């Protein structure tokens, strides 16, 4: 090839195409809120960091670390134990329990907290029954554990979040060959020895990833810890920003929270960097569940039923009992909250999945270095707590909003108001940044299953890149795209911290309505919205169960 031809080709390769530019824009949208938080933390108008370190910050950090570690340990035990039982053994109810164990994902942790407090508090059915049974007259006559405490918060988080560990550990076990377990049994290893020496090492990478997700969700939570009066880094952001009016201090706490999450992710990746499992045969012998003796079989049934009852049946029963007679069903505010939830969650889901599909397809199509480097970065939003994202989104958008309004007034003399922060735009942006990793991950997995020969044939027949995406890829990834849309939508429905901080004035969603009513100790009025959230979550759980059959 002559030098005159080679130079234009090299210039064409260096020139960014639409896919590369699109990937850069998406990455910028995801990263800007986090960069803004770090900037505010490093350049506060009033530096209260020494005051925070000397007063409240140790309590915030200590409570957060304790909740993370305790919840992570408890969910690891619950998730891996349940996965081992349903994969390795046959016992009564096993077929439906393996799917019922996913049901707590449909109930947000803050709804579980409201239900637990209502069930166990002094005026609740448990203590009332105890007083009637034992003849006690007041709380001075007996001792009962404190309900609104860190211990109760750990139990609520564990019951709501253990399915993240369970579903990954179960999938890891099912993908293994049964030969290893059969050899261990032939060598005389008992059930406990097989679990700790064979099963647990095989489940460890998947379980570690699930525990990392659990810990991130624990840090992100606001509704549960606020209701139980446990001061964490997230409640500290709300307190310093909204009550004390100090943006820099809130950004500093947010940066600490984000650093904790990044450290957690790094530790998780380093801990399993040398973990490798391989299959040595083309035909994997499936794990065959062995029957348990009657007593042990019923014990296994009870062991799997307890987390389902604690994380799903109890909250749903308590909330339903309040919702049956609630006048809230007829309240116009509930209908508006439902509409706001559907609109914001639906738009965010479409943007998340559409943007993820665009980015993954563009990376595969162009093969350029920039989008390949930027694609993993866009997943960082999922690791950022909602309160952190809200802090990084609201202030820059508010300044942009005011600048646009001033420019419009100067040009036309008409004041349009706040177009971005005065509407749901900021809220939708937070949802997109927070859950973009779900859409991107689903698109990457779906497109990876398509044979390269299909799009190559379409391109050879004259189809453009966009035409190939519409005619070949979209029909083949439709199921995965639909699943991702629903999962992102349900996560948007349950998201509380970012929604509380970014919603416009007098703009309620189902999550904020539940929080508002429950904060006033009015569980009955919170129940209808909580049931709606749970119903939407059940749809996602059913879809998840179907995908993991």
Predicted local confidence at residue 10, as pLDDT:
44
Least confident of 363-367, 406-410, 518-522: 363-367
Which CATH number among 3.40.50.720, 1.10.3720.10, 1.10.10.10, 2.40.30.10 corresponds to the domain 325-549? 1.10.3720.10
Least confident of 170-179, 205-214, 235-244, 512-521: 170-179
Predicted local confidence at residue 177, as pLDDT:
61
Cβ neighbourhood burial of 10 (10 Å; 0-12, 13-18, 19+):
exposed
Each residue's pLDDT tens digit, 354-390: 888 888 877 777 666 766 777 777 777 777 888 888 8
Taking residues 272-298, report their average pLDDT: 68
Asked if the model's pLDDT at residue 158 lies above 50, the reply is: yes
Taking residues 167-189, report their average pLDDT: 71
Reported as a pLDDT band with limits 50, 70 and 90, residue 2 is: very low
Who contacts 334 (Cβ-Cβ below 8 Å, separation ≥6)? 328, 513, 528, 529
Taking residues 394-401, report their average pLDDT: 82
Q: How far apart are CA 71 and CA 314, in angstroms?
A: 19
The ranges assigned to domains in the chain are 325-549
Q: How far apart are CA 333 and CA 320, in angstroms?
A: 19
Average pLDDT along the chain: 82
Give whole-number Cα distances, 307 to 191, 204, 541, in Å: 22, 21, 16
Reported as a pLDDT band with limits 50, 70 and 90, residue 281 is: very low
Each residue's pLDDT tens digit, 186-243: 666 666 777 777 777 777 888 888 888 899 889 989 999 999 999 999 999 988 888 8
Residue 45 has which token pair? 């108008």
Each residue's pLDDT tens digit, 493-509: 999 999 988 888 888 99
> What is the pTM assigned to this prediction?
0.84
CB atoms under 10 Å from CB of 246, counted, come to 21
Cβ neighbourhood burial of 207 (10 Å; 0-12, 13-18, 19+):
buried
The position carrying tokens 């020895």 is 193
Q: Is the model more confident about 286 or about 8?
A: 286
Q: How far apart are CA 530 and CA 511, in angstroms?
A: 8
Predicted local confidence at residue 1, as pLDDT:
47
Q: Name beta bridge partners: 290.
A: 89
Predicted local confidence at residue 114, as pLDDT:
92
Predicted local confidence at residue 454, as pLDDT:
67
Q: Detail the DSSP E strand segments found in 238-338.
A: 290-291
């Amino acid at each position: 090839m002559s030098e005159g031809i080679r130079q234009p080709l090299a210039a064409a390769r260096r020139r960014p195409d639409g896919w590369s530019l699109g990937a850069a824009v998406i990455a910028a949208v995801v990263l800007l809120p986090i960069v803004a938080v770090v900037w505010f933390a490093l350049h506060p108008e009033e530096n209260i960091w020494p005051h925070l370190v000397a007063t409240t910050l140790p309590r915030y950090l200590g409570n957060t670390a304790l909740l993370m570690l305790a919840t992570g340990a408890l969910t690891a035990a619950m998730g891996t134990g349940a996965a081992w039982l349903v994969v390795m053994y046959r016992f009564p109810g096993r077929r439906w329990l393996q799917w019922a164990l996913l049901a707590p994902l449909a109930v947000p942790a803050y709804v579980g907290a409201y239900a637990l407090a209502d069930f166990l508090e002094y005026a609740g059915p448990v203590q009332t029954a105890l007083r009637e049974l034992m003849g006690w007259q007041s709380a001075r006559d007996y001792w009962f554990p404190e309900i609104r405490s860190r211990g109760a918060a750990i139990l609520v988080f564990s019951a709501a979040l253990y399915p993240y560990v369970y579903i990954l550990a179960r999938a890891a076990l099912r993908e293994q060959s049964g030969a290893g377990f059969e050899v261990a049994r032939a060598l005389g290893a008992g059930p406990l020895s097989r679990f700790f020496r064979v099963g647990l090492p095989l489940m460890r990478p998947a379980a570690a990833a699930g525990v990392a997700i659990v810990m991130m969700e624990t840090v992100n939570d606001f509704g549960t810890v606020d209701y139980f009066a446990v001061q964490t880094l997230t409640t500290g952001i709300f307190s310093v920003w909204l009550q004390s009016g100090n943006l820099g201090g809130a950004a500093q706490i947010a940066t600490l929270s984000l650093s904790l999450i990044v450290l957690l992710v790094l530790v998780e990746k380093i801990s399993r960097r040398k973990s490798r499992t391989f299959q040595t045969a083309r035909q994997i012998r499936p794990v065959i569940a062995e029957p348990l003796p009657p007593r042990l079989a019923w014990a296994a049934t009870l062991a799997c039923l307890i987390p389902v009852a604690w994380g799903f049946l109890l909250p749903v029963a308590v909330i339903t009992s309040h919702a049956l007679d609630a006048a809230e069903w007829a309240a116009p505010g509930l209908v508006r909250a439902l509409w706001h939830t559907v609109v914001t969650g639906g738009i965010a889901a479409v943007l998340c999945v559409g943007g993820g599909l665009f980015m993954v397809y563009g990376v595969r199509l162009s093969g350029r270095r920039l989008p390949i480097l930027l694609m993993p970065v866009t997943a960082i939003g999922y690791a950022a707590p909602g309160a952190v994202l809200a802090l990084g989104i609201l202030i820059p958008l508010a300044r942009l909003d005011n600048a646009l309004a001033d420019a419009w007034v100067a040009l036309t003399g008409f004041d349009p108001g706040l177009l971005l922060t005065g509407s749901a735009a900021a809220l939708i942006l937070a949802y997109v940044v927070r859950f973009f990793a779900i859409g991107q991950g689903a698109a990457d997995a779906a497109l990876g299953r398509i044979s390269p020969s299909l799009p190559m044939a379409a391109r050879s027949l004259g189809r453009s890149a966009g035409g190939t995406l519409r005619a070949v890829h979209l029909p083949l990834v439709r199921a995965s795209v639909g699943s991702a849309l629903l999962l992102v939508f349900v996560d948007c429905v349950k998201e509380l911290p970012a929604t509380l901080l970014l919603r416009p004035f007098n703009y309620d969603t189902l999550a904020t309505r539940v929080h508002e009513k429950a904060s006033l100790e009015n569980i009955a009025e919170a129940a209808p919205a909580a049931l709606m959230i749970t119903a939407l979550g059940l749809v996602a759980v059913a879809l998840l169960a179907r995908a993991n059959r």
